């Protein structure tokens, strides 16, 4: 097979996707003008077939922390392929998974002593829910409103966003949500002493919601008091995204369960992991007949393990976690003034390189847009940022006027300054809503 030739002769990939994979997604891309022919990625940039460079502030939803096509992760993968290792043994073990598990466990609190690999973030959360229930011999699972933990049935049952759950009822029984940030509501549920797991993102990805101070330590305290396992979903926030290796470090937390994925393989190979207290693991894997109580054929696959080891090495070698913290501070410095400058900017917030800007307005134009689709104003920022400034961002969730970014940590100070300048121009222009945008906005509302 000649790969280059195959790709070169594939024809229009949007047509191909529309025919074979997902025509509605292709419609969305076409409507918002994101249907470029992409040919290359490097660091914090992607390139189209006309040779244009785009600043990628979305990083594949936050999976390219060490940059797209990171040279050292790639080199490790090539070396691994050339080693002709035995691969997956099924009934046998090799060193690579143990090495990566060790590296991960060295970076978590001493309480966390075991690692179970998965193929994705949602699978890591499925494992947390399943093992957490078995270990506590309880059935209930509580999560937070607006929480997002993946889209397979168990994780979806913990999802706090109606637009993802509504059409897939009934979900699993014994799942309930409480407001994010509300300790009293959580205590009301936990005091029944039938809750196996409370699962929460330390900073919510949908909307980029930061917890009130004291909330997460309070959650931990309540979980300990009522015998509930405290699960921190670090799928998006892990590996330096918020300026510390894991977001739970900001509050000195010691959770029982930690789930990771996304950036773990540097964006190359699907992978995830559930990192857990030994007691949880031992309660489930408690005998030889139970030695394979949970797992998956491809987890832990060797390429994912190699990529994971190389990604962690990259983070350390180039101090990328510190870089994420520094650039995050700089980004807030550059963009917070927008809230004073423009009435329509309600808030600018973030931690490390997890950042968002939220809009609100009461002008006629703003209200008309909101009637067509809640939060539509945010699209008037995302689309021109892309089409006019070649900067890739995203609306942070359904029905919200929030734009978020999750860029690779290798972006530069100049990239951030360019973004801040482009954002200012775009917000200024969107407030005036030129007629070309009116047309776009209404058709964008129509695609939902
Ligand atoms: C916090 C969080 N948990 C879980 C997931 C699901 O991960 P995956 O898409 O790998 O299943 C995501 C994905 O965006 C996420 O942001």
Instruction: Check which CATH number belongs to the domain holding 436 and give it.
Output: 3.90.1150.10
CB distance 270 to ligand 1 below 6 Å:
no
CB distance 354 to ligand 1 below 6 Å:
no
pLDDT for 257 equals: 98
pLDDT for 170 equals: 97
Ligand 1 centroid, distance to 86 Cα (angstroms): 30
Query: Nearest C-alpha to atom 10 of ligand 1 is from which residue?
Result: 121
User: Does residue 52 sit in the same domain as residue 108?
Assistant: no
User: Does residue 76 sit in the same domain as residue 65?
Assistant: no
User: Does residue 267 sit in the same domain as residue 311?
Assistant: yes
Neighbours of 192 (CB within 10 A): 10
The string of DSSP codes covering 284-331 is HS-SGGGTTSS-BTTBT-HHHHHHHHHHHHHHHHTTHHHHHHHHHHHH
pLDDT for 365 equals: 85
Say how many residues make up the chain. 448
Task: Say which CATH number the domain at 134 has.
Answer: 3.40.640.10
User: Does residue 56 sit in the same domain as residue 76?
Assistant: no
Domain end, chosen from 317, 348, 383, is at 317
CB distance 273 to ligand 1 below 6 Å:
no
3 belongs to a structural domain = no
User: Does residue 310 sit in the same domain as residue 360?
Assistant: no
pLDDT for 441 equals: 65
Which residues have a Cβ under 8 Å from the Cβ of 340 and sit 6 or more positions away? Answer: none
The stretches of 63-112 forming alpha helices (DSSP H) are 71-82, 95-106
Ligand 1 centroid, distance to 121 Cα (angstroms): 5
pLDDT for 438 equals: 61
CB distance 395 to ligand 1 below 6 Å:
no
4 belongs to a structural domain = no
pLDDT for 189 equals: 98
Mind listing the pLDDT tens digit of every residue in the chain (448 residues)? 899 999 989 999 999 999 999 999 999 999 989 999 999 999 999 999 999 999 999 999 999 999 999 999 999 999 999 999 998 888 999 999 999 999 999 999 999 999 999 999 999 999 999 999 999 999 999 999 999 999 999 999 999 999 999 999 999 999 999 999 999 999 999 999 999 999 999 999 999 999 999 999 999 999 999 999 999 999 999 999 999 999 999 999 999 999 999 999 999 999 999 999 999 999 999 999 999 999 999 999 999 999 999 999 999 999 999 999 999 999 999 999 999 999 999 999 999 999 999 999 988 888 888 888 888 999 999 999 999 999 999 999 888 999 999 999 999 999 999 999 999 999 999 887 655 566 666 666 655 4
Ligand 1 centroid, distance to 199 Cα (angstroms): 13
Angle 302-317/320-335 helices, nearest 10 degrees?
A: 70
Ligand 1 centroid, distance to 149 Cα (angstroms): 5
CB distance 61 to ligand 1 below 6 Å:
yes
CB distance 150 to ligand 1 below 6 Å:
yes
Query: Nearest C-alpha to atom 7 of ligand 1 is from which residue?
Result: 121
pLDDT for 448 equals: 43
8 A C-beta contact, residue 88 and residue 301: yes
**134-159 residue pLDDT tens:** 999 999 999 999 999 999 999 999 99
1 belongs to a structural domain = no
Ligand 1 centroid, distance to 386 Cα (angstroms): 24
CB distance 160 to ligand 1 below 6 Å:
no
Domain end, chosen from 271, 294, 317, is at 317
CB distance 261 to ligand 1 below 6 Å:
yes
Distance CA 157, CA 337 (A): 39
Ligand 1 centroid, distance to 56 Cα (angstroms): 19
The answer, as to whether pTM is greater than 0.85, is yes
pLDDT for 346 equals: 97
Query: What's the structural domain count of the chain?
Result: 2
User: Does residue 197 sit in the same domain as residue 181?
Assistant: yes
User: Does residue 369 sit in the same domain as residue 330?
Assistant: yes
8 A C-beta contact, residue 242 and residue 250: yes
Closest by Cα among 390, 312, 405, 353 to 60: 405
6 belongs to a structural domain = no
245 belongs to a structural domain = yes
Query: Nearest C-alpha to atom 6 of ligand 1 is from which residue?
Result: 150
Ligand 1 centroid, distance to 311 Cα (angstroms): 19
Show the domain range for 389: 12-69+319-446
For residue 201, how far is the Cα from the chain centroid? 10
Distance CA 152, CA 375 (A): 27
Which residues have a Cβ under 8 Å from the Cβ of 377 and sit 6 or more positions away? Answer: 344, 359, 361, 366, 369, 370, 401, 430
Ligand 1 centroid, distance to 125 Cα (angstroms): 9
Using most ligand atoms within 8 A of CB, pick from 128, 158, 164, 205 the residue to mutate for ligand 1. Answer: 205
Using most ligand atoms within 8 A of CB, pick from 202, 211, 262 the residue to mutate for ligand 1. Answer: 262
Q: Residue 266 corresponds to which tokens in the numbers above?
A: 């540097």
Using most ligand atoms within 8 A of CB, pick from 117, 121, 200, 354 the residue to mutate for ligand 1. Answer: 121
Element (H, E) at 200: strand 195-200
User: Does residue 44 sit in the same domain as residue 112?
Assistant: no
8 A C-beta contact, residue 29 and residue 35: yes
Distance CA 303, CA 347 (A): 41
Distance CA 26, CA 14 (A): 6
Closest by Cα among 44, 70, 48 to 59: 44
CB distance 189 to ligand 1 below 6 Å:
no
8 A C-beta contact, residue 273 and residue 260: yes
Distance CA 105, CA 115 (A): 7
User: Does residue 106 sit in the same domain as residue 165?
Assistant: yes
Closest by Cα among 149, 153, 123 to 272: 123
């Amino acid at each position: 097979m000649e790969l280059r030739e195959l790709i070169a002769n594939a024809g229009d990939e949007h047509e191909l996707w529309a025919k074979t994979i997902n025509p509605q997604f292709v419609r969305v891309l076409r409507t918002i003008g994101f249907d470029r022919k992409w040919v290359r990625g490097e660091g914090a940039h992607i390139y189209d077939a006309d040779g244009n460079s785009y600043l990628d502030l979305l990083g594949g939803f936050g999976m390219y922390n060490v940059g797209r096509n990171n040279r050292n992760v790639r080199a490790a993968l090539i070396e691994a392929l050339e080693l002709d290792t035995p691969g997956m043994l099924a009934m046998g073990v090799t060193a690579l998974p143990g090495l990566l598990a060790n590296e991960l466990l060295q970076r978590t609190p001493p309480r966390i002593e075991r690692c179970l690999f998965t193929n994705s973030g949602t699978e890591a959360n499925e494992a947390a829910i399943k093992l957490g229930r078995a270990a506590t011999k309880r059935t209930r699972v509580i999560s937070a409103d607006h929480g997002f933990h993946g889209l397979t049935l168990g994780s979806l049952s913990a999802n706090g966003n109606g637009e993802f759950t509504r059409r897939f009822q009934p979900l699993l029984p014994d799942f309930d949500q409480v407001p994010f940030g509300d300790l009293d509501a959580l205590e009301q549920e936990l005091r029944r002493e039938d809750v196996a797991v409370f699962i929460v993102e330390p900073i919510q990805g949908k909307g980029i919601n930061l917890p009130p101070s004291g909330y997460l330590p309070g959650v931990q305290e309540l979980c300990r008091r009522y015998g509930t396992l405290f699960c921190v979903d670090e799928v998006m926030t892990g590996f330096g995204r918020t300026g510390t290796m894991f977001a739970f470090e900001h509050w000195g937390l010691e959770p029982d369960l930690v789930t990771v994925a996304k950036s773990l393989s540097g964006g190359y190979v699907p992978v995830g992991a559930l990192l857990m207290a030994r007691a949880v693991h031992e309660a489930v894997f408690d005998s030889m007949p139970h030695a394979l109580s949970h797992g998956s054929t491809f987890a832990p696959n060797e390429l994912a393990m190699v990529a994971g080891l190389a990604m962690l090495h990259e983070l350390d070698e180039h101090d990328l976690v510190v870089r994420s913290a520094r650039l995050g501070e700089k980004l807030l410095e550059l963009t917070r003034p927008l809230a004073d400058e423009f009435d329509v900017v309600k808030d600018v917030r973030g931690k490390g390189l997890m950042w968002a800007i939220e809009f609100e307005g009461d002008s006629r134009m703003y209200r008309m847009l909101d009637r067509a689709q809640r939060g539509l104003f945010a699209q008037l920022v995302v689309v021109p940022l892309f089409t006019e400034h070649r900067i890739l961002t995203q609306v942070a969730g359904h029905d919200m006027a929030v734009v978020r970014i999750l860029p690779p940590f290798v972006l530069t100070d100049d990239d951030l300054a360019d973004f801040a300048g482009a954002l200012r121009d775009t917000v200024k222009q969107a407030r005036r809503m030129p007629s070309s945008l009116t047309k776009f906005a209404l058709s964008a509302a129509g695609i939902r």
